């Protein structure tokens, strides 16, 4: 089955490709000829992921899935949440986003946070959603050079290192995106078994 991951983010595709079973041919937006920016005007992760997947299905007729991920910080009432990528402005600057987050958390003892990913799969025109969550805490300063986004600030529960200090294989075992993808893959496998 050909399945498009509706993103232009090479990091996300790199993270997900090893998780997808061999029976699924994962293709990028570029590979289906989609070069435009996908709409993302929803005010929830669920709405954004649905909007992006629906756009690909409506315009290209390709089975696809899209994700939207947010960092939700307890002390900030769930900010930056759905606005995580553009927290410090439309330029989507990861360093500026982290600096703004740290400024807002200055003097705050509660550093609890979670990364949450919602995936919308559109298969033959029918939409399905899957969620993955990983809980942890925000550090006072960035650590590590791997990953992307807020990874240098986030230490998942049960670990002493940030996502940015982990290699991809280790992060893939526990990340929010990996957990959502795991649910997606389980669903695809069950569908495959039913039809065989």
- Listed residue (27, 28, 31) closest to 2, CA to CA: 27
To 5 degrees, how large is the angle CA 116–CA 1–CA 31? Answer: 75
For the question of residue 67 being annotated catalytic, the response is no
- Listed residue (50, 117, 55) closest to 82, CA to CA: 117
Catalytic residue among 58, 67, 68, 157: 68
- Listed residue (126, 118, 160) closest to 143, CA to CA: 160
Q: How many CB atoms lie within 10 A of CB 80?
A: 20
Question: What pairs with residue 134 in β-bridges?
Answer: 115
Which are the catalytic amino acids?
68
């Amino acid at each position: 089955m050909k399945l498009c991951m509706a993103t232009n983010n090479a990091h996300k595709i790199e993270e997900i490709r090893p998780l997808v079973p061999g029976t699924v041919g994962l293709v990028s937006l570029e590979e289906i000829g989609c070069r435009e920016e996908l709409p993302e005007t929803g005010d929830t992760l669920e709405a954004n992921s649905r909007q992006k997947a629906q756009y690909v299905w409506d315009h290209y007729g390709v089975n696809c899935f899209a994700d939207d991920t947010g960092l939700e910080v307890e002390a900030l009432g769930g900010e930056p949440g759905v606005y995580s990528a553009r927290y410090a402005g439309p330029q989507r600057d990861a360093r500026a986003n982290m600096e703004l987050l740290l400024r807002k958390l200055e003097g705050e003892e509660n550093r609890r946070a979670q990364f949450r990913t919602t995936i919308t799969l559109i298969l033959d025109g029918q939409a399905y959603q899957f969620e993955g969550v990983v809980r942890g805490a925000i550090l006072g300063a960035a650590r590590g050079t791997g990953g992307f986004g807020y990874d240098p600030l986030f230490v998942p529960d049960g670990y002493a290192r940030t996502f940015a200090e982990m290699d991809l294989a280790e992060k893939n075992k526990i990340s929010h995106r990996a957990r959502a993808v795991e649910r997606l893959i389980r669903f695809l496998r069950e569908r495959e078994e039913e039809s065989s």
